[in-house]
Every structure is written in structure tokens, then in C-alpha cells.
Amino acid sequence: MGIWRDRVVPRAADFALDNREIRRFREEVVAGTSGEVVEVGFGSGLNLALYPPAVTKVLAVEPSAVATRLAAKRIGSARVPVEVVGLDAQQLPLETASADAAVSTFTLCTIPDPRRALEELLRVLRPGGTFHFLEHGLSPVPAVARWQRRLNPLQRRLAAGCHLDRQIDRIVEEAGFVLDEVRNDEMTGPLPLRPFGYLYIGTATKPGGAGRSIERRASHPETATSSPS
Ligand SMILES: C[S@@+](CC[C@H](N)C(=O)[O-])C[C@H]1O[C@@H](n2cnc3c(N)ncnc32)[C@H](O)[C@@H]1O
């Protein structure tokens, strides 16, 4: 699995996650970021061109050498400076309360201990700093969730540890973030792809700054993970 995991999967991710539909979700997620942003699972840098002008620096965390190589061209032509600061979101080599915002797109599915990674992000964010996420995860539709659990072992092997059945909003909240906004959506595609395409798109805040109320929305109301609060 070494060559598959190390060389094929990063290229497949760069290809599969670079389309117009996903780009729109990415734009939505990075839109509210500003200042110094930690991006975990930086991958091939597909978010980089989408950061708003208020972002002054991106601190990239990425274990894959191939993904970082694929990102080199995007880093070279980016408006915003990028510093690759580490290899593992579960152990960030950054000062406590040093970052303004954090971003994770399609990464919490793969990190072995996502709770630990989120606790690290909570540590390095300043109070009131925000975490912006675009992730796939557990569907609230029982039949889809059953398939997600069935396919999980295969998915983990084929996609370098990716889990289909993580309930992202719950993990973010359990790590200590305050959820500001979470909406769910589904990627378009044929029925067999439903287990792969249930999305959690949202922002959460590190407590200590000004409070905000929680808003939950679903573009597909029948598949919302929770009712409006
Ligand atoms: C599906 S790819 C997504 C890449 C990128 N975030 C995007 O949206 O295109 C998942 C990424 O998470 C990275 N990753 C895996 N384990 C990680 C860890 N412990 N810390 C940080 N990133 C990790 C992988 O190397 C890979 O680049």
C-alpha cells in the first residue's frame, strides 16, 4: 500500500477535489477568513487562490511530500505567502493563541485522531479565532449511513485512512469549539456515490471572544443532521 498511499492517493485527491461544484463550497468556506490562517491537510493547495485579501499568511500543515510538491506551483503564484509549518495536525509546531483562523477541507475524515487535531487547533487559535470547515461525513439518512459503515473499511484502505462515517459537527463541538453555523449539503452525482458526498460546511469559534448564536441550515432539509435551534 506504500506506493498507492504515498503517490497515487495525493494525485487522485488533487484531481477528484478540483471541480466547479467543490470550488464553490471552498469559496464559501474560506470567505470569512482573515489574518494568519492555519490550514491543516493543505494537500495540493486547492484553497489557496480562493483566500480573501484579508488573509495575510497561510500556515500549511501537510504530511504528504507528493501533495506538497503538487502544491508548489500554486504556492509560487499565490498572492498570499505560504509557510509549510508542519506535517501533522495532531501536533502543531505553533505557539498557543498565535493564529487568527484555521481551515480544514476534506481532511478531518483522514486524520487518525480528529479530536486531537481539533484540540490542537483550539490551542493555536487566539480567543475568538475561527475554524472554517468543509468536510464529508456521516449521513443522517439511515440507509446511506449503513452503506457508509459497510464501505468504511474499504474506503480507509483505498483512500489513505479516509473515514466515511464521522459526524463532523459533533467532533468539532466536543473538542471545545462553539459552533457558529453548520449547514449540510450533498454533492451531486449518481446514487451509489451518496455515501461519499454528505457535506458539513461551517464555522466554529474558540471561546473567549465575542459570542455568537448557533445557526443550522440544510440545503436538503430532509437530510439535515439536526433541527433548527
Ligand atoms: C482528501 S485530502 C484533502 C486535501 C485538501 N485539504 C483539499 O481540500 O484538497 C486529505 C489531506 O489530509 C492530509 N492528512 C492526512 N493525515 C493528516 C494529518 N495527521 N495532519 C494533517 N494532514 C493530514 C493528507 O495528506 C491529504 O493531503
pLDDT of residue 1: 54
| Pocket lining: 84 vs ligand 1, CB cutoff 6 Å | no
pLDDT > 90 in the chain, percent: 88
Where along the chain do its domains lie? Answer: 2-223
Would the pLDDT of 117 be above 90? yes
Neighbour-count burial of 93, counting CB atoms closer than 10 A to its CB (0-12 exposed, 13-18 middle, 19+ buried): exposed
Would the pLDDT of 211 be above 70? no
Mean pLDDT of the chain: 92
3-state secondary structure at position 103 = strand
The residue-averaged pLDDT of 8-20 equals 96
CB 96 within 8 A of CB 120: no
The residue-averaged pLDDT of 50-71 equals 98
pLDDT of residue 226: 41
Give the number of the atom of ligand 1 that is nearest the alpha carbon of residue 43: 27
Would the pLDDT of 223 be above 70? no
Query: What confidence tens digit (pLDDT) does each residue in 122-133 have?
Result: 999 999 999 999
What would the DSSP string read from start to end of 150-213? HHHHHHHHHTTT--S---HHHHHHHTTPEEEEEEEEE--S-GGGGGG-EEEEEEEE-BTB----
pLDDT of residue 210: 62
| Pocket lining: 13 vs ligand 1, CB cutoff 6 Å | yes
Which CATH superfamily does the domain covering 2-223 fall into?
Vaccinia Virus protein VP39 (3.40.50.150)
pLDDT of residue 209: 77
pLDDT > 70 in the chain, percent: 91
Give the number of the atom of ligand 1 that is nearest the alpha carbon of residue 159: 1
Minimal-distance CA residue to ligand 1 atom 4:
43
The residue-averaged pLDDT of 59-67 equals 98
| Pocket lining: 111 vs ligand 1, CB cutoff 6 Å | yes
| Pocket lining: 64 vs ligand 1, CB cutoff 6 Å | yes
CB 117 within 8 A of CB 108: yes
CA terminus-to-terminus distance, the chain: 45
